[in-house]
Structure 1
């Protein structure tokens, strides 16, 4: 779990929006894309590692994987959530 004080300070490097933890449902949907080989990051690379946690922008357009409790706030590693196929 991300420290709430840290979460209050960090912002999306693309939009400068605050970030919040994604729902378990959204993380599960992303991991289905990882398993299927269809989930890509902003840099057009396949996401191959399961997502433990995900931070999302307020508008739910971008997601940032959290690995070993460390947010990966690199713009090219962001997941464009709007581009994910609907359930």
Structure 2
């Protein structure tokens, strides 16, 4: 992801800064998706595994990156497993 773009992106709900997720974070989320326990902010189930993800500074919310495009819609935030 472009470094300049990453510097200006923030969570649309909290305003917290975002950073690329580590492989371990992505794997933990994909495990939750496989187990049917991952949810979007709107309460719907996350059904597609994640290849890339931006996470908030507090590590509570993730936003998937699909085809190089971060999906930054408030209702598409994903509660991250703790």
Bin the TM-score by the shorter chain.
Answer: over 0.9
Tell me by how many angstroms 1:52 deviates.
1.0
Provide structure 2 residue ranges, at least 5 long, that are not aligned to the other structure. none
Stretches (4+) displaced over 4 A: none
- Could you report, residue by residue, the CA deviation over 1:4-49 in whole angstroms, capped at 9, with x for unpaired residues? 1110111100111110011110100111111121111111111011
Q: Report the TM-score, using the length of structure 2 for normalisation.
A: 0.92
Query: How far 1:73 sits from its partner (Å)?
Result: 0.4
| Paired position in structure 1 for 2:74 | 75
- Unpaired runs of 5+ in structure 1? none
- Look up the match of 1:50: 49
- The answer to whether the 8 A contact 2:38-2:79 is kept is no
- CA RMSD between the two structures: 1.0
**Aligned residue in 2 for 1:35:** 34
Give the SS at the match of 1:27: helix
The residue matched to 1:33 in structure 2 has which SS?
helix
**Residue equivalent to 1:6:** 5
